[in-house]
Amino acid sequence: MNALKCLLAAAMVWGASGTAHADIVYSAELQLANYPAFRTGNPIFDGPHSLPGQWQSDVQPTVGVFRSRDLVGYTTDPATGAEVPTWGPDILGHHDWGNQGPAAMGWDTSVRNGPILDDQQTTGRGTADRNHFEATIHRRDNPAEAQASGTWRRDFSLDPHASFTFAANASLDIAGDASALDAEVVADATTFTGGLSLMLRDAAGRVSAGIGAVLFDSWGSITYGTGPDGALSLTITNNGDTALLGQLNAGAFAQMSALAAPVPEPEAWLMLLAGAMAVGGAARRRAPPVEAVGCRA
**Res 94: pLDDT:** 84
**Res 278: pLDDT:** 47
How many angstroms from the chain centroid is the CA of residue 69? 20
Q: Where do the H-state alpha helices sit in 133-286?
A: 268-278, 281-284
Indicate the helix (H) or strand (E) that contains 195: strand 195-202
**Res 44: pLDDT:** 84
**Res 266: pLDDT:** 39
* Cβ contact 190:229 at 8 Å: no
Cα radius of gyration rounded to whole Å, the chain: 22
Q: Could you tell me the CA-to-CA distances from 91 to 109, 121, 139, 148, 293 in Å, in that order?
A: 15, 11, 13, 12, 41
**Res 35: pLDDT:** 84
Of 40-49, 122-131, 207-216, which one has max mean pLDDT?
A: 207-216
Q: What is the mean pLDDT of residues 235-260?
A: 91
Q: What is the mean pLDDT of residues 79-85?
A: 89
- What's the CA gap between 227 and 232, in Å, rounded? 7
Q: What pTM does this model have?
A: 0.78
pLDDT at 152 exceeding the cut of 80? yes
Please report how many Cα atoms fall inside a 13 Å half-sphere around the Cα of residue 234, on the Cβ side: 30
- What's the CA gap between 275 and 127, in Å, rounded? 19
**Res 140: pLDDT:** 82
pLDDT at 60 exceeding the cut of 90? no
State what percent of residues in the chain have pLDDT above 90.
Answer: 47
pLDDT digits (tens, 9 = 90+) for 251-287: 999 999 865 444 334 344 444 454 444 444 444 444 4
276: DSSP letter: H
| Number of Cβ atoms within 10 Å of the Cβ of 52 | 16
pLDDT digits (tens, 9 = 90+) for 199-217: 999 999 999 999 999 999 9
How many angstroms from the chain centroid is the CA of residue 106? 16
Burial bucket for residue 155 (CB in 10 Å: 0-12, 13-18, 19+):
buried
**Res 259: pLDDT:** 57
